[in-house]
Amino acid sequence: MFRFLKNIDKEGRKPAFGGLEILKYIGPGLLVTVGFIDPGNWASNLAAGSDYGYQLLWMVTLSTIMLIVLQHNVAHLGIATGLCLSEAATVYTPKPVSKIILGSAMVASISTSLAELLGGAIALQMLFGIPVRIGAVITFITVLILLFSNSYRKLEKWIIGFVSIIGLSFIYELTLSNINWGQAVVGWVTPVIPHGSMIVVMSVLGAVVMPHNLFLHSEIIQSRQWNNEDEKVIHKQLRFEFLDTLFSMIVGWAINSAMILMAAATFYTFRTSVSELTQAKEMLVPLLGNNASDIFAVALLFAGVASTITSAMAGGSIFAGIFREPFDLKDNHSRIGVLLSLVVALIAIFLISSPFKGLIYSQMLLSIQLPFTIFLQIYLTSSRKVMGKYANSKFLSAVLLSIGAIVTFLNIRLLISIL
């Protein structure tokens, strides 16, 4: 669907890369950004801010830095090879290895879709009093309509609009909150793991650095391809892609930070722990007024719908890649992947008792799967057989391995804390 969209004009000339050319490349990164300002992030960030104040802001900073490196690297794979991460895994790794990793990635996509559908459902409950399970069905149907009735370009514009609404909503919330900026600055740069916070720390990590986004970015970046046989064009693509990724990830960092800041300034200050998103909306009324609580719910609804679209797309890309095919909603394998991600998630919602805990633990599950995807990506992007002269440098490989080691270490800490 995406990789054959080469923007060569009618006379066959290559596109010029003028000063405003970067604007044509903004989009793929923002689609990925939606994935880490999703309802799972809301639950994780509200839990972090309400229980630990500004102390866990560093986790958003660390996660975003790791995310910039990982997302740029996986987009590099898509541009240099013309393959998404799932396809490359199928082509270049042994079958047993690719099946295990891609199977777990599909589980991660389902887990993500569960969180996204729940977020949309909880928002509908906040706004209109609709029961969560019925709200999940409404969100599910809305997402299917948007996915199967719109082209990628239209979807991209919709999602960029959703991101803008979410960002503006939190800017408004912050203007009403009494933020302790001194503590916030310390929190952003000082790593500390308070007693009993390991599950929340891991849920924040899993909510920012998400496996399905790595698969998705390597696919959708190819919607910006020009003439991939021209080396100069490839170099320009890589440069503009990095700017798009950097800009988009900073937007995501700001929105995630705003969530924790708001929770710290309101709930933590009054020693109130948030255990439900609906509870957060109700508590905002006496603290910040009716407008703040309504805007909170509207932003959550947009976050739920937009992120469900991207998680479903990721599921379709992963499943199609198993069959060495690109994501294309006209293709049965892509459709099966999308429906598998959404339908299984919807069924799971009917089986869980606590939506908020479902959000938290879904993010924790993502963080557990994450090391498998990261080390797969490192293997592929470091291989000259796969990437040719665009393979990772020794320095970049070392940085990526360090990120993989940090994520693995945190997962071990999580398991120890649970056991």
Chain position carrying tokens 């898509």 = 78
Residue 16 pLDDT exceeds 50? no
**For the segment 328-337, what is each residue's pLDDT rounded down to a tens digit?**
888 999 999 9
Question: Domain extents for the chain?
Answer: 21-418
- Examine the pLDDT at 15 and tell me if it is beyond 50: no
Helix, coil or strand: residue 43? helix
Q: Quick check: 68 and 245 in contact, CB under 8 A? A: yes
Instruction: Go through the chain and tell me how many residues it has.
Output: 419
pLDDT of residue 14: 45
Between helix 198-208 and helix 394-418 the angle, nearest 10°, is 140
Give the mean model confidence (pLDDT) for residues 269-296: 71
* pLDDT band (50, 70, 90) for residue 245: confident
Q: Give the Cα separation of 173 and 164 in Å (integer).
A: 14
Percent of the chain with pLDDT over 90: 36
Whether the Cβ atoms of residue 248 and residue 257 lie closer than 8 Å to each other: no
Mean of the pLDDT values across residues 339-352?
Answer: 93
Q: Look-up: residue for tokens 């990628």?
A: 152
Q: How far apart are CA 187 and CA 295, in angstroms?
A: 26
**Bigger pLDDT: 140 vs 371:** 140
Is pLDDT of 322 > 90? yes
Top pLDDT among 45 and 368 is at 45
Worst-scoring range by mean pLDDT, 167-176, 262-271, 285-294?
285-294
226 has a pLDDT exceeding 80: no
Q: Give the span between the Cα atoms of 166 and 247, in whole angstroms.
A: 16
pLDDT top residue among 79 and 208: 79
Span of 150-164, 264-278, 306-320, 334-348 with lowest mean pLDDT: 150-164
Packing angle, helices 355-381 and 394-418, rounded to 10: 150
Residue 199 CA neighbour count, 13 Å, CB half: 12
- The contacts found for 177-186 with CB under 8 angstroms, 24 or more apart, are 177/261, 177/262, 177/265, 177/266, 177/288, 178/265, 178/269, 179/261, 179/264, 179/265, 180/54, 180/264, 180/265, 183/53, 183/54, 183/264, 184/54, 184/57, 184/257, 184/261, 184/264, 186/54
DSSP H/E element including 80:
helix 57-81
Q: Give the pLDDT score at 10.
A: 37
pLDDT at residue 417 in the model: 63
Confidence of residue 87 (pLDDT cuts 50, 70, 90): very high
Indicate whether 285 pLDDT > 80.
no
Model confidence at 25: pLDDT above 60 = no
**Least confident among 49-53, 122-126, 208-212, 354-358:** 354-358
Pairwise CA distance, residues 223 & 328, whole Å: 12
State how far the Cα of 255 lies from the Cα of 55, in Å rounded to an integer. Answer: 17
Give whole-number Cα distances, 216 to 34, 45, 206, 212, in Å.
Answer: 12, 23, 16, 6
How far is residue 6 CA from its own chain's centroid? Answer: 26
| pLDDT tens digits along 30-64 | 777 777 777 767 778 888 998 999 999 999 999 89
Quickly count: other Cβ atoms within 10 Å of residue 151's Cβ: 10
Q: How many CA atoms lie within 13 A of 117 on its CB side?
A: 34
Long-range CB contacts for residues 351-357, cutoff 8 Å, separation at least 24: 355/118, 355/121, 355/122, 355/132, 355/276, 355/277, 356/43, 356/275, 356/276, 356/277
**pLDDT given for residue 7 in this prediction:** 38
pLDDT for the residue numbered 202: 75
Tell me what the mean pLDDT of segment 200-216 comes to.
79
Q: Domain 21-418: which topology? A: Amino acid/polyamine transporter I (1.20.1740)
Helices (H), 93-151: 95-128, 132-149
Least confident interval from 74-78, 149-153, 192-196, 352-356: 149-153
Predicted local confidence at residue 20, as pLDDT: 45
More confident position, 290 or 9:
290
- Flag whether pLDDT at 119 surpasses 90: no
pLDDT digits (tens, 9 = 90+) for 137-185: 999 999 999 888 866 667 777 777 877 888 888 788 788 888 999 999 9
Question: Where do we find the tokens 């800490």?
Answer: 413
Q: Rounded to 5 degrees, what angle do the CA atoms 28, 343, 27 make?
A: 5
Buried b (16+ CB within 10 A) or exposed e, 257-275: bbbbbbbbbbbbeeebebb
| 418 compared with 91, residue with greater pLDDT | 91
Average of per-residue pLDDT values in the chain: 82
How large is the average pLDDT for residues 381-400?
94
What amino acid occupies position 418? I
Give the closest residue to 213 by CA, choosing from 341, 97, 85, 303: 85
Token look-up 């300002």 returns 37
Cα torsion for 93, 98, 101, 103, to the nearest 10°? 170
Question: Residue 283: what pLDDT?
Answer: 61
Distant-in-sequence, close-in-space partners of 17: CB < 8 Å, separation ≥ 6:
236, 240
